[in-house]
Amino acid sequence: MSEILKMVRFDIGNVSTLTLPYVAGFIVLSAVLAVFGIPLCMLCLIAPLCLFAPADLMSKPTLKRIYGVLPVSRTAALTASFAEMGVSLFIGEVLSLLMYLVCSVTTLYRLLPEYIRDISRSLVDPQYNNAGFSAADYSVLMVEVFALLCLLTAYLKMMTEIHGADTSVRYMISALSALAAAAAAVIILSKRGIITSVKSLLIPDSSGGKWLLCIAVNIISAAVFLLSHRYTLAKTSDYEL
Amino acid sequence: MINIVIKNRSDVPIYEQIEEQIRSQILTGRAEENEQLPSIRQLARDLKISVITTTRVYNDLAEDGFIISVAGKGYFVAPKNNELLRERMLYEMEAAIDKVVENGRNAGLSDEEIISFVRKFMEE
Amino acid sequence: MENILEITGLSKSYEGFSLRDVTFSLPKGYIMGFVGQNGSGKTTTIRSILNMANIDSGRISIFGLDSIKDTIAIKERLGIVFDSLYFADHLNVKQIEKQLRPFYKKWNSEEFSRRIKSFELPENKRVGTFSKGMKMKLMVAAALSHDAELIILDEPTSGLDPVARDELLDILAEYIEDENRGVLFSTHITADVERIADYVTILHAGRVWFTGTKDELIENYSIIKGSESELSPELKGKLIGFHSYRNGFDALISAKDISGIPRSVETEKASIDEILVYIAKEDKNERNTENGTL
């Protein structure tokens, strides 16, 4: 455990100068705007993850040698990496939901100029948007986006570790294409009337249903991370530095 | 104080160069008796050469009686009354005398002339 | 004499290259120079020692510990210097020290600081802006700051000017004053090996061509030159890297074979550089004989 923590601190040390000011700044900005009813905080889902983004992009072979130099096991480095991503995504989820909550209950939106107010309210108040999404609905959506991010991140990390960093772009493109294809399918099917309501597809009506979905999604996301970590460990145990 | 200078590009192996320099400085009295020499590793460090080379140098010199090793303290120039050293110095003297006699005779001097030449030399 | 590093029967195959049955040892208190052409297997050997590469067979022991099972315990006591920096470019020396400190039980911040000052490295500049010599010194400073007993350097002086090379030799000479330590450094620059190494291991085409004291190596090989007609076929077979040209020939010969050469042939002590060249020539000659062009 302490080995993993050491590696996490090490990774943080590597990237914090590059990303921390921007990530922290963005979160603070989102919090401030949330007080005024502007839901920029929705993007905070991904903010903490961006803290570690360069760490993964920095996997040049010459830098990877540090794992051969330092007295740590290679599995610790890998586990730390997965943990960083999982935990930062989770923190992003919690942060953005909390800020969104503030955003949805604040009355300060009245101070906003009209066009900003309209856009902001449409993301919070069912009376302002066509689909009739309530704040609760949007929250469920955010949790689902969080799950998607977890899936994508775990998948990309796994592929990068197993097949090398140069191929990561290829996997990213294939993942995004799959997503786009799925979205296109949903749109076509709903236009054809086969899917009557996109909303009911994604968001349970009852409040209990919504909570259940959120909890289930979180558990599944954690499982995805754990499984992809396990799988990656098994596949790369023989790899050389 | 012993002074050592090595020539890297010489045909003479480094260990021989060092041994020769230490030997001649001891024989000519430039190195004082009981003077302490740098340790094997210190010498290697100073000259930036292999420790094995300096070890060999000190072993050879100790065997020939030029230096002595004192347990726990290091290497020292052998005192002048050291048997081996004395023997070596006499040997050097013999070789030098051999040269003197040969040169004198070649120059056409008789043996008595050579001896008085030597005496005059000592008086100066 | 205890061995600080012992490699026995190390074999490892890659596509198109293999290390075969590499065996050599470094006793405590000495410096070993590890030389060989590019592609002879030096870096692969070092990576095997560091458990960065998986070996097919053989055993490597450092401080008496197994290089695979005890790799973490070993690395606490090992200092490593590569030919290029393994720290992130955008960090500065102070940040790197903070990064390294938690990993080593014996990390000594004052020692690191002292080294950085004596190497004249700026503490607050990004290390990506350092010159090659400065980067090397940074790795050396890190290697020397946790009481390492063995320092392994892989081509530390490639691309360095003579002043920086000399400074490194000085640092290594000072380091090895303690007879409980060891140094293994691989290099092209055989002049450095000739100067300061106690032991030498020559690697050629993945095999150990020679391992032993530097004196043994240097006193054992000579270059001979003369006219080809003076050589008996028997003698010719013992020559290494035979090279014939219009007016004569030159080749490398081992001391044990040297009694057979005629007086008219010139002999000269071989430098390590020359030994490497003749070994390579010998390879080429063998290949040409097989191809029938010789």
Amino acid C293: pLDDT: 61
DSSP assignment of chain B: -------TT-SS-HHHHHHHHHHHHHHTT-SPTTPBPPPHHHHHHHHT--HHHHHHHHHHHHHTTSEEEETTTEEEEPPTT-HHHHHHHHHHHHHHHHHHHHHHHHTT--HHHHHHHHHHHHH-
CB contact under 8 Å between A72 and C72, yes or no, is yes
CB contact under 8 Å between A65 and C86, yes or no, is yes
C57 vs C266 pLDDT, higher one: C57
Interface probe with B: pick from C215, C269, C271, most Cβ of B within 10 Å: C215
Please write down the long-range contacts of A168-171, taking CB distance under 8 Å and 24 or more positions apart: none
Amino acid B12: pLDDT: 80
Q: What is the mean pLDDT of chain C?
A: 90
pTM of the model: 0.85
Q: Do chains A and C touch (3 or more CB pairs under 8 A)?
A: yes
Count of alpha carbons within 13 Å of A216, Cβ hemisphere only? Answer: 9
Distance CA C33, CA A92 (A): 53
Sequence-distant (≥ 6) Cβ neighbours of residue C214 within 8 angstroms: B50, B52, C33, C193, C194, C197, C198, C199, C200
Identify the H or E element spanning A74. helix A74-105
CA dihedral (A28, A34, A35, A36) in degrees, to 10, reads 120
CB contact under 8 Å between B51 and C29, yes or no, is yes
Partner residue facing C52 (CB), from A9, A10, A241: A241
How far apart, in Å, are the Cα atoms of B45 and each of C83, C111, C114, C274? 24, 20, 20, 26
Summarize pLDDT for C10-56 with one digit per residue, the tens: 999 988 889 999 999 999 999 999 999 888 899 999 999 999 999 99
> Domains of chain C (ranges plus CATH)?
3-217 (3.40.50.300), 219-291 (no CATH)
Interface probe with A: pick from C90, C97, C151, most Cβ of A within 10 Å: C90
> Which two structure tokens, joined as six digits, stand for C170?
């000085």
Summarize pLDDT for C128-186 with one digit per residue, the tens: 999 999 999 999 999 999 999 999 999 998 888 889 888 999 899 899 989 999 999 99
Contact between residue A72 and residue A7 where contact means Cβ atoms under 8 Å apart: yes
Partner residue facing B48 (CB), from C169, C199, C219: C169
Q: How far is B41 from chain C (nearest CA, A)?
A: 5
First to last CA, chain B: 27
Distance CA A183, CA A33 (A): 30
Average pLDDT over residues C212-219: 89
The alpha carbon of A107 is separated from its chain's Cα centroid by a whole number of angstroms, namely 28
Contact between residue B40 and residue B10 where contact means Cβ atoms under 8 Å apart: no
Q: What is the DSSP letter of A233?
A: H
Distance CA A52, CA A92 (A): 13
Q: Which residues of chain B have pLDDT under 70?
A: 1, 81-82, 84
By the 10 Å C-beta count (0-12 exposed, 13-18 middle, 19+ buried), C83 is classed as buried
Summarize pLDDT for C225-270 with one digit per residue, the tens: 888 887 788 888 888 888 888 888 888 888 888 777 777 888 888 8
CB contact under 8 Å between C88 and A6, yes or no, is no
ipTM of the prediction: 0.86
Which one-letter amino acid corresponds to residue C60?
Answer: I
Q: Across-strand partners of C210?
A: C202
> Are β-strands C65-66 and C57-62 bridged in parallel, bridged antiparallel, or unpaired?
antiparallel
C51 neighbourhood in chain A, CB within 8 Å: 68
DSSP H stretches of helix in chain C: 42-49, 71-76, 93-100, 109-118, 132-143, 162-175, 190-196, 214-220, 233-238, 272-291
Candidates A185, A167, A137; CA nearest to A59 is A167
C166 neighbourhood in chain B, CB within 8 Å: 48
**What is the phi-psi region of residue C212: left when phi exceeds 0, alpha when psi lies from -120 to 50, beta otherwise?**
left
Q: Which residues of chain A have pLDDT under 50?
A: none
Candidates C289, C248, C280; CA nearest to C40 is C280
Q: Across-strand partners of B82?
A: none
First to last CA, chain A: 22
Q: How far is B118 from chain C (nearest CA, A)?
A: 43
Amino acid C9: pLDDT: 95
Amino acid C73: pLDDT: 95
Q: How far is C31 from chain B (nearest CA, A)?
A: 8
Is pLDDT above 60 for C71?
yes
CATH number for the domain running over B14-77: 1.10.10.10
Q: Which chains touch B (3 or more CB pairs under 8 A)?
A: C
Amino acid A53: pLDDT: 80
CB contact under 8 Å between B51 and C30, yes or no, is yes
CB contact under 8 Å between C91 and A17, yes or no, is yes
